[in-house]
Amino acid sequence: MDLELMANSFPKLLNAAVITLKLLSASLIIGLFVGLFFAILRLNKNIFLNKFAYGYSYVFRGTPLLVQIFIIYFGLGQIEYLRSTFLWVILKEPYWCAIIAFALNTGAYTSEILRSAFQTIKPGIVEAGKSLGISNKIIFYKIQIPIAIRQSLPAYGNEIILMMKGTSLASTVTIMDLTGVAKYIISTTFKPIEVFIVAGGIYLFMTFIIHNLIKFLEKKYSFN
């Protein structure tokens, strides 16, 4: 056990963990909007919109995240037309490509979580709102969405942790996140166990924090 290496690599890995957290928060925020958008489409009665949203979530949940990142980072750059538009400013950066891939991926899972949460809302609650003379729009934003958020908290908590682990794939497109730096240190020192303990410890600590944060929110917004 090389304790010196562990002590030396700790600050480097901690710095890299900041990048992991940045990737995670950016993808979660964008992904939440994407998810909400597609969940609403799924609940729409229009068959075309419904099928479109279903297809989106099916494709993104049925393929590995690695493929999605590679299509966006390596694949989209190949389209000549895209290179001439302003989108290229974003798509040439591996950092933004990773965030786009993560956001679309977590968006697909989030849309499923939100959809099932919306579907478990008892019709009586909506009817109660209607009989009080509240407009449909306000029922949706002030009654259905808050209940759906509460319902989906446990599943969404799992999704946050899965996404945090997913951000490690950013290291495959040259981003030096926690896993990227860990791999670099392993491949230069050939001490995989020591680096794994430190980097894994940081990941576990983040998992622990997220887990407890969700538990706290669940308690705060519980119905009783």
Partner 1 sequence: MELLAFGKTGWGDELFIATLMTIAVSITAMLIGFLFALIFTPLKLSKNKLFNVIGNSYTTVVRGVPELLVIYLLFFGGSGAVMFVASIFGYNEYIEINAFITGSFAIGIISGAYSTEVFRGAIQSIDKGQFEAAKVMGLSKFAQFYKIILPQTLRLAIPNLSNVWQITLKDTSLISVTGLVEIMRQSYIAAGSTRDPLFFYSFAAVLYLMLTFLSMKIINKLEAKYSRGY
Residues in contact with partner 1 by CB under 8 A are: 58-59, 62-68, 70-71, 74-79, 161, 164-169, 171-172, 179, 182-183, 186-187, 190, 192-193, 196, 199-200, 203-204, 207-208
* Nearer to partner 1 (CB atom), residue 114 or residue 182: 182
* Nearer to partner 1 (CB atom), residue 65 or residue 147: 65
What is the smallest separation between the CB atom of 77 and partner 1, expressed in angstroms? Answer: 8
Cα distance between residue 141 and residue 134, in whole Å: 11
Locate 168 and state its tokens: 């490690």
Cα distance between residue 78 and residue 96, in whole Å: 17
| Residue 178 near residue 43 (C-beta atoms within 8 A) | no
Cα distance between residue 54 and residue 39, in whole Å: 9
* Nearer to partner 1 (CB atom), residue 60 or residue 118: 60
What is the smallest separation between the CB atom of 27 and partner 1, expressed in angstroms? Answer: 14
Torsional sign, CA 172, 176, 178, 181: positive
Cα distance between residue 87 and residue 94, in whole Å: 13
What is the smallest separation between the CB atom of 133 and partner 1, expressed in angstroms? Answer: 43
* Nearer to partner 1 (CB atom), residue 116 or residue 172: 172
